[in-house]
Amino acid sequence: MGRGKVVLERIENKISRQVTFSKRRNGLLKKAYELSLLCDAEVALIIFSSRGKLFEFCSSTDINKTLQRYQQCCYSTEGTNNPEEGSQTLYQEVSRLRARCESLQRSQRNFLGEELEPLTVKELKKIEKQLDKTLSEARQRKTQLMFDRVEELRKREQDLKEKNQQLWIKLEEVQRLPAIHGVGDPSKGDGNRQIMMHPSKFNHVEPQPSLQMDQYAFFLLPFLLTFSFT
């Protein structure tokens, strides 16, 4: 005796419907796995129960890549087979982007304190939270820039101290030159000359007494001036 035809219709009994869903779901997932394994096919299966619970299977590691591949294939087929539908799809995409742009511009005006009257309390709280976050980030950035500036000034101060020390050493070398070459000795004759080294030429330099120079100091003058200004 043959088996009668099974009528496919919604199962009214809630428990029986849940049991049937569980059995058929497991069988469908098993078939999808076997198809991907035996035939080396890329299979993606998505199931939502009547309560909205998600069940999925994907033969690849990422189901999003499979869905993206599906979308690219569908868009490519639509654009090739039906140019009018392709144009309609592009028009919808442009409309969506235009609406998105208008939404962003509206949000920008709201952040600037404009067009706040139509907003609800929830939307105003959201804007307030975003502004607090932006203000906090701006303060942190300002503080970091101030610390960087202080560090830069400290380095410049250290460089100036080192240069000042070098100038002090050169000044001492210049002051020792008259003693080395016999400048300032009264026994050399009447051709002595005086050179006053002004303390403003160096930082933190005390005024020095005048140097007596004989007739050879005239030739040493450019050499001394070179040291004093370097």
Assess whether 161 and 211 both reside in one domain: yes
Structural domain range at position 73: 11-81
> 56 forms bridges with which residues in the sheet?
46
Is residue 123 in some structural domain? no
Is residue 39 in some structural domain? yes
- Count helices and strands (H / E) in the chain: 5, 4
Is residue 90 in some structural domain? yes
Assess whether 217 and 151 both reside in one domain: yes
Last residue within a domain, chosen from 58, 81, 104: 81
C-alpha to C-alpha distances, 83 to 69, 75, 78, 87, 90, nearest whole angstrom: 21, 11, 7, 6, 11
Judged against a pLDDT cut of 80, whether residue 207 lies above it is answered with no
Which residues lie closer than 8 Å to 17 by C-beta, 6 or more apart?
A: 10, 11, 50
- The count of domains in the chain is 3
Which of the 8 DSSP states describes residue 44? Answer: E
Note the pLDDT tens digit of each residue in 92-146. Answer: 888 888 888 888 888 888 888 888 888 888 888 988 998 999 999 999 999 999 9
Residue 193 three-state SS: strand
Is residue 129 in some structural domain? no
Can you give the CATH number for the domain in which 44 is found? 3.40.1810.10
Is residue 210 in some structural domain? yes
102-105-110-115 Cα dihedral, nearest 10 degrees = -60
What's the confidence (pLDDT) of residue 90?
Answer: 82
Assess whether 158 and 205 both reside in one domain: yes
Note the pLDDT tens digit of each residue in 28-68. Answer: 999 999 999 899 899 999 998 888 888 888 888 888 888 88
